[in-house]
A and B are shown apart, each in its own frame.
Chain A
Amino acid sequence: MVDELSASSEGSFISRDRAWHPPAYTQAYKSSTLRSPRNALLSLGQTASELTGPAFGHSLLGELDNNLIRNFSREGIDAIGQRLIIHGQVLDENARPVAGTLVECWQANAGGRYRHKREGYLAPLDPNFGGCGRTITDANGYYSFRTIKPGGYPWANGGNDWRPAHIHFSIFGHAFAQRLITQMYFEGDPMVWQCPIVGGIPDMAAIDQLIARLDRHNTVPMDALAYRFDIVLRGRRSTLFENKLEGN
């Protein structure tokens, strides 16, 4: 297990397919206009600086870090909203579980209001909801959060743009080359297909990868609906040894 995870025994990461990701400049998402480089990215053969990355021990985590219903609660009062379990597996492109990696998330409350000083939306704050969570994947790459379903919210982009309900995710992987921030959406939400941020992703199949599926099997009766959201990080190429050309 340890050998399987160790960085030194493996090769470089599979190149990022930048036609699968959103490009830097996506016209309909106006903020990208002045925040996208005009020059081409410089391709870099990966060095030790990209093949390594920070590791986080379980000692980082508090008991309620992955329970957003309770981790900001003032007097043991649960956050208001539809109770959810969001869970899934972090894998790499070779379908190998990514164990022991930090997964962080943040979101608005049930009314679509973020707890942030720059947010001025008139939907009220929930005094018992902060909106941040984190956990570390287990030996098989699984993670889970308890939270409430975020509301959609309006934003100053087009004249009447609303974000679909979403949860932001940040994942480290085992190397800085795998670092990823993304957003999770909910199955069946019609606003997913109207959103300029989602629409920056060129391929419908790539968008579909961001949509969590209702998971009746893990739904807890009389308590919380479950949604399943698997996350895929870049995979590594095997190291090619002279005496073992097929790799490992």
Chain B
Amino acid sequence: MLHPVPTLKETPSQTAGPYVHIGLTPNFAEIKGVYATDPGSTMLTPDTKGERIVVSGKIVDGSGAMVNDALVELWQADADGAYVAPMSPNSNSTPAFTGWGRQPTNAEGVFSFETIKPGPVPGPDGKPMAPHVVLWIVARGINIGLQTRLYFEDEAEANASDFVLNKIMDPRRRATLIARKEPGAVPRYLLDIHLQGDNETVFFDV
């Protein structure tokens, strides 16, 4: 036998519900004084290397309504294309960039992360993947977290050869993952997430 049969089943997922903010962003939920800050609310320190950007978008349901009670987590590499080591045993140090952020959507269904543009990460095919961030979305009505990626429209050449984008057969669907750039002192990359319908975002089973 090459791989032993797993002995346990994964704990099944359940929706995060409408009050997810109580547990995951309590200060945003106006529960003050328990945690100094909401985890993941700030991704940058003055020491973080890389180009400052904003990653932002709306979350839209199958009727076109804004999803104003979602929670989004973002996971990305640093400017050199490296992920922070997953387990730094017993480390109490705070690295200049952890690569992880967590933001609720606001009353208009908009999430927004102040971060840096990630560098290219090696892909399984031996080539670098195009710069991207991973997004994980939970909310009332979402029974199991939805995972997707955000790519950058000004990386067209890298996007064209990206390992993951090329798994999406329909080029119209590939476009659902490419964020539009709004230039400025701090460039903004905008991508709306459509949970269902004509412009439905590509979600992954990772």
Query: Looking at B7, B85, B87, which has the most chain A CB atoms within 10 Å of its CB?
Result: B87
User: Hey, which chain A residues are within 8 Å of B34, CB to CB?
Assistant: 62, 64-65, 71-72, 130, 132
Least distance between A143 CB and chain B CB atoms (Å): 13
Contact call A47/B123, Cβ cutoff below 8 A:
yes
**A244 CA to B2 CA in the complex, in Å?**
10
**A127 CA to B132 CA in the complex, in Å?**
44
Q: Interface size for chain B: under 10, 10 to 19, 20 to 34, or 35 or more residues?
A: 35 or more
Contact call B143/A44, Cβ cutoff below 8 A:
no
Cβ-defined partner of A52 (8 Å) among B4, B19, B83, B91: B83
Q: Quick one: given A106-B23, A176-B134, A246-B2, are A36 and B195 in contact (CB under 8 Å)?
A: yes
Cβ-defined partner of B14 (8 Å) among A22, A45, A47: A22
User: Hey, which chain A residues are within 8 Å of B164, CB to CB?
Assistant: 44, 47
Chain A, interface SS category = loop
Contact call A29/B143, Cβ cutoff below 8 A:
yes
Chain B positions 168-206 with a Cβ under 8 Å from a chain A Cβ: 168, 173, 195-197, 200-206
- Total interface residues on A, CB under 8 Å, equals 103
User: Hey, which chain A residues are within 8 Å of B92, CB to CB?
Assistant: 57-59
- For residue B140, CB closer than 8 A to chain A, the reply is yes
- For residue A191, CB closer than 8 A to chain B, the reply is no
Cβ-defined partner of A179 (8 Å) among B12, B73, B195: B73
Chain B positions 1-39 with a Cβ under 8 Å from a chain A Cβ: 1-4, 6-24, 26, 29-31, 33-36, 39
Q: Can you offer 11 A-B residue contacts whose CB atoms are under 8 A?
A: A22-B144, A35-B67, A37-B200, A48-B123, A53-B86, A56-B39, A93-B8, A94-B7, A106-B20, A132-B26, A134-B35
A residues at B contact (CB < 8 Å): 1-2, 5-7, 13-18, 20-24, 26, 29, 31-39, 41-50, 52-60, 62, 64-65, 71-72, 91-95, 100, 102, 104-106, 114-119, 130-134, 168, 170, 174-177, 179-183, 197-198, 200-201, 205-207, 209-210, 231-235, 237-238, 240, 245-247
